[in-house]
Structure 1
Amino acid sequence: MAPSGAPPNTTFPPLTTSYQPITIFTTAYPHTNSTLNPFAAAASNFINDLLNKIPLPRWAVYAIFVAAALLILICCLCICIKCCKRKKKKQNKKDEIIKMNDMNGKTTSALVQPDVTDVDYGTAKKERGKLLYSLDYSVAQSELTVGIKQANNLMAMDLGGTSDPYVKVYIIPDKIKTCETKVFRHTLNPVFNERFNFPIPKSTLLKSTVVMQVFDFNRFSKHNIIGELRVELGNVDWNHVIEEWRALAEPAKFEEENLGEICFSLRYVPTAGKLTVVILEGKNLKNMDITGNSDPYVKVQLALDKRKWRKRKTSIKRNTLNPYYNESFTFDVSFEQIQRVNLVISVWDHDAVTRNDPIGKIFLGCDASGNQLRHWADMLSNPRRPIAQWHNLLSAQQVNSTLTLKKRIPLASRMPF
C-alpha cells in the first residue's frame, strides 16, 4: 500500500533496519593467558586431586596443615632461643678473660700478690646478691647457732630470669655436719628463716670458719652455685648476737671434695604400702683404685625409728666412675611407718681382697633437710608416681653424724609389720 501523497505506481523498497557490528578492540597479554593461567589451573587441579585422595574431611586436612605449621614455627623459635642463649654464654665467657694488654707494667700495683680471699680465678666480679645471716654461740652448751634469714637480689641462673635458691651451711676445717635450707622456687629474694645448730667447743670455734653457700636447685642436673660467705669465727665478737647483711662472693674452688653424684627415683603407693627405689646411675664418682677407676655398687638401706631395718644392694660395675644400674628395689612400708622411715643411699667401691671402701652417702626422710627432704616430700605428695632426682654425695662421716643410727631393731619387734 502506497503512502498517501505518493505518485501512483511507485514502488518503495521494504523498510529494514540494518545494524553494523561494533568491533571491540582488546589488548591481549600473552604471558598471562598462555603461561600463568595454565600453570595455576594445573596446580589447583593437582592440589584438589591430592586433597580428594585423603580419606578425611576437608576441615580436618586444613587443621592438620595449620598444626604442622605451628609446630614448625615453635621449633624455629626454640632454635633461635637456644642460639641466643649460647651466644650470650659465649659472650660472658669472653668478657671474663683477663685483658692482658691492659697491663702496661708502669705501675707496681699490678705486681702485688692479692690475698687468697681476693682471688677471683681470672673471672670478672659479678653481683651475686646479698645474704642476711646471724651467729650465736652458747658457751654452756658448746653450740653454735647459724641463722639463715633471707637473701636479696640474687643472681638469676635460669632462662626465665629467676633462680630456685637454697643455702648450704657447714663449718671447716672439720666439716663434720652439713645443713641445707628448703628450696624456694622462682625467686631472687627468698625468705628462709631457718636455724642450724653445730656442736663445737670454744677452743675449736676460734680456729674455724663457717661457710654459707647459696645454690640454684636443678632436679635433673648439677646444682649451680650462686655465691658464698665465709666468716672466720676467731674474729667475731661473741659478747652479743651477730646479725648482718653481706654481699655474696665467688665460691672458693680449692676446698670442696667432689665425691660424685647419684640419680635415683622414689615411688610410694599408700594403699599397698609399697616403697620402690630405682637406682638409675651415678656420675663423676671419686676414684678409689690405683688405676684411676672404681668398682662401684650402691647399698639401699631403710632405718625405722633411727634403727637399721632392711637393706638391699645393686650389682657391681667394674672399672668405671659413671656406672649405669637401672635396678629396682621394693620394700613393704605401711603408711604409718613411712613417717618414721629414713632411706640411706650409699655408694661403695668393691675390693676382692681388702675391705670395701665407702665413696659417698646421703639419706632421705622426714629427718633429712634441703634437697633430700624435698625429694622425699615430693614422693609423698605424688603417690603412685616415680620421682627422680640427682643428689650430690656427702662423706659417710657427715651423714653418720647427722643421722645417728642406733643399733639394729630386735628380732621380735621386726616380725610382722
Structure 2
Amino acid sequence: MPIIRRSRGSSPPPSLSPPATVISTTSSHTNTTVHPAVGVLNGLLKDIPLPPWAIFIIFSLGLIVIVLCCLWVCKKCCCTRKKKKQPKKKDQERINLDGVNGKTTTALVQPDVNDVDYGSSRKYRGKLLYSLDYDSAQSEVVVGIKQANSLKAMDLGGSSDPYVKVYISPDKTKTCETKVFRNTLNPVFNEKFSFQMTKTALLKSTVVMQVFDFNRFSKHSIIGELRVQLCNVDWNHVIEEWQDLEEASKFEDGSLGEVCFSLRYVPTSGKLTVVILEAKNLKSMDIGGSSDPYVKVQLTLDKRKWKKKKTTIKKKTLSPYYNESFTFDVTFEQIQRVNLVISVWDHDAVTRNDAMGKIFLGCDATGNQLRHWADMLSNPRRPVAQWHNLLSAQQVNSTLTLKKKIPLSNKLPF
C-alpha cells in the first residue's frame, strides 16, 4: 500500500466514517419554582367566585378606608396635644398687668386682688347689702334687706330667681322672706323685718340672712348666707354695710320637710280648690324611724279659725303621696281676708297627734307663700302648684297670730 505524504500546509483528508451525533440532556426551559405564599394566594383567588377586576376594586376600597382611618387617628392625636398645651397659655394670661407701670416693685410682685381670680378654693357667691337697727322703746330688732349684687347663677340660662329668708337663731320663732325677683343676679329688695327681742337676748342671738334661688317644682337652692352675731353690733347708730355671702352652715339642720299642693280659685262661683299632692323628707316622729302623716287644710277668716278638712293617713312613710282635693265656698269679698293654713301631722292611735310642720298662705303671708297666693288670684280657674318648705308650728302661729273665737251668746256665763 503506498504511503501518502502530506505537505505541511495542506488540510487533513476527510474522514470516511460519518460524524457522531451528540444529544444534549440539558432542559431548555428556565427554572419556574413558585413561592409558597403566592401559591396560597392564587388558591384563594381561584376559590372566590368573582372576576379579577371586582376583586381588585374591593381591595382598593379597603386600602383607601385603612388610609383614611390612619389620617383620622393622627388628627385626633394632634388636637389632643394642642388642648393639653392651651391651659398653660391661659394661666399665664389670667393676671391682668394693664395697670403695671414698672415704677414700683409692689405692682410687679403683688397684683391687685381684683385682677387675680385663680388659686383660691373659695367660690364667690355674691354680696348682700343689709341694715340693722334696734328700737329700745319697742324692744325689737329691725333687719333691712336692701339689695344684692353679682349673685351666683343657679339656673341653666346663667341667671337666678333670688329671694332672702331672714330669721334669728337660736330661737327661730319667726321667719320672714322677701319677694322673689325673676331672672336677675342684682336684685333690689328694699324690705324691712322686725323681731321682738329684749336687750339680754341680743347677747346670745344671731341674725341669719339666707339668699335662695326660687324653683316652683323642686327644692329651692341656697346661694349663700350671712350670719351676724348681735352681741358684736354697736347699737348706737344704724348699721348698713355690704358683706360677701358665705356657704350655708350645715350644722343647723332645721328642715322639717316639704309639701306640694295646688290652688285654684273661681271668682264667679266662689270656689277655692286645694289639692294636696304629696310631701317628702318629713321628720321622723315614731321610734322605728318613720311616721304616719296626714295633712290638715284650714281656712281662717279675719284672723279667726273658720273651716277645715284633712287628708287620709299614710302609714309608715316620710314621703307620702295623697292627690286629694278639697273645695271651700269662699266669696270674692272673703278671699281678700282669708288665710290658708297647711299643716302636716303624725297620727298616734293612743297619744295626742304631733305637729310635724306648718305653712300658711294668704294676704298676710310673705315671700314664696304670698307669691303662690298671688299667682292663684291672677290666674283664675287655673290650678297653680308649688312646693313649700315646712316651718315649725311655733313660727307660723307667732306670725299668723290668730284670735280666739268669740263665745256664743247662749254660752255666756251671764
Q: Could you tell me the TM-score, scaled by structure 2's length?
A: 0.69
Q: What amino acid is aligned across from residue 148 of structure 2 in structure 1?
A: A
Aligned pair count? 291
How much does 1:224 deviate? 0.2
Aligned to 2:301: 304
Q: What amino acid is aligned across from residue 224 of structure 1 in structure 2?
A: S
Aligned to 1:357: 354
* 2:216 paired with 1:226: no
Partner of 2:286: helix, strand, or coil?
coil
How much does 1:164 deviate? 0.2
* 2:255 paired with 1:264: no
1:293 to 271, 290, 293: 290
Partner of 1:168: helix, strand, or coil?
strand
Q: Residue by residue, what CA displacement relative to the aligned partner does 1:79-110 show, whole Å, maximum 9, x if unpaired?
A: xxxxxxxxxxxxxxxxxxxxxxxxxxxxxxxx
Q: Residue by residue, what CA displacement relative to the aligned partner does 1:39-71 show, whole Å, maximum 9, x if unpaired?
A: xxxxxxxxxxxxxxxxxxxxxxxxxxxxxxxxx
Partner of 2:332: helix, strand, or coil?
coil
Identical-pair percentage: 82
Partner of 2:276: helix, strand, or coil?
strand
**Which whole-Å CA distance do the structure 2 matches of 1:125 and 1:380 have between them?**
43
Q: What amino acid is aligned across from residue 311 of structure 2 in structure 1?
A: T
How much does 1:410 deviate? 5.8
How much does 1:141 deviate? 0.8
**Which whole-Å CA distance do the structure 2 matches of 1:124 and 1:359 have between them?**
38
**Which whole-Å CA distance do the structure 1 matches of 2:248 and 2:360 have between them?**
25
**Which whole-Å CA distance do the structure 2 matches of 1:307 and 1:410 have between them?**
12
* 2:152 paired with 1:155: yes
The correspondence of residues 5-404 of structure 1 with structure 2, limited to 5 A, is 124-404=121-401
**Which whole-Å CA distance do the structure 2 matches of 1:411 and 1:368 have between them?**
30
Contact 1:299-1:313 at 8 Å conserved across structures: yes
Q: 1:382 to 1:224 in 2, by over 3 A?
A: same
What RMSD in Å do the two structures reach over aligned CA positions?
A: 1.3
**Which whole-Å CA distance do the structure 2 matches of 1:210 and 1:301 have between them?**
31
**Which whole-Å CA distance do the structure 2 matches of 1:322 and 1:178 have between them?**
24
**Which whole-Å CA distance do the structure 2 matches of 1:235 and 1:259 have between them?**
31
How much does 1:367 deviate? 0.2
Aligned to 2:404: 407
Contact 1:276-1:329 at 8 Å conserved across structures: yes
**Which whole-Å CA distance do the structure 2 matches of 1:330 and 1:179 have between them?**
29
How much does 1:125 deviate? 1.6
Q: What amino acid is aligned across from residue 208 of structure 1 in structure 2?
A: S
How much does 1:408 deviate? 2.9
How much does 1:143 deviate? 0.6
More deviation in 303-312 or 251-260? 251-260
Partner of 1:347: helix, strand, or coil?
strand
Contact 1:309-1:409 at 8 Å conserved across structures: no
**Which whole-Å CA distance do the structure 1 matches of 2:349 and 2:260 have between them?**
26
For structure 2, list consecutive stretches of 5 or more residues without a partner in the other structure. Answer: 1-52, 54-119, 410-414
How much does 1:220 deviate? 0.3
Aligned to 1:119: none
How much does 1:407 deviate? 1.6
Q: What amino acid is aligned across from residue 279 of structure 1 in structure 2?
A: I
**Which whole-Å CA distance do the structure 1 matches of 2:351 and 2:339 have between them?**
29
Partner of 1:337: helix, strand, or coil?
helix
Q: Residue by residue, what CA displacement relative to the aligned partner does 1:275-301 show, whole Å, maximum 9, x if unpaired?
A: 000000000100100111100000000
Partner of 1:336: helix, strand, or coil?
helix
**Which whole-Å CA distance do the structure 2 matches of 1:378 and 1:410 have between them?**
36
**Which whole-Å CA distance do the structure 1 matches of 2:144 and 2:309 have between them?**
38
**Which whole-Å CA distance do the structure 2 matches of 1:278 and 1:141 have between them?**
41
**Which whole-Å CA distance do the structure 1 matches of 2:406 and 2:179 have between them?**
31
Segments of 4+ moved more than 4 angstroms: 409-412
**Which whole-Å CA distance do the structure 2 matches of 1:230 and 1:394 have between them?**
20
Q: 1:233 to 1:309 in 2, by over 3 A?
A: same
**Which whole-Å CA distance do the structure 2 matches of 1:250 and 1:284 have between them?**
22
How much does 1:409 deviate? 5.8
Partner of 2:371: helix, strand, or coil?
helix
Q: Residue by residue, what CA displacement relative to the aligned partner does 1:235-261 show, whole Å, maximum 9, x if unpaired?
A: 000000000000000010111321100
**Which whole-Å CA distance do the structure 2 matches of 1:347 and 1:124 have between them?**
41
**Which whole-Å CA distance do the structure 2 matches of 1:406 and 1:222 have between them?**
33
Partner of 2:261: helix, strand, or coil?
strand
**Which whole-Å CA distance do the structure 1 matches of 2:236 and 2:177 have between them?**
27
**Which whole-Å CA distance do the structure 2 matches of 1:124 and 1:302 have between them?**
49
Highest Rg: 1 or 2? 2
Partner of 2:223: helix, strand, or coil?
strand
Aligned to 1:99: none
**Which whole-Å CA distance do the structure 2 matches of 1:131 and 1:411 have between them?**
52
Q: What amino acid is aligned across from residue 139 of structure 1 in structure 2?
A: S
For structure 1, list consecutive stretches of 5 or more residues without a partner in the other structure. Answer: 1-30, 32-122, 413-417
Q: Residue by residue, what CA displacement relative to the aligned partner does 1:218-246 show, whole Å, maximum 9, x if unpaired?
A: 00000000000000000000000000000
Partner of 2:399: helix, strand, or coil?
helix
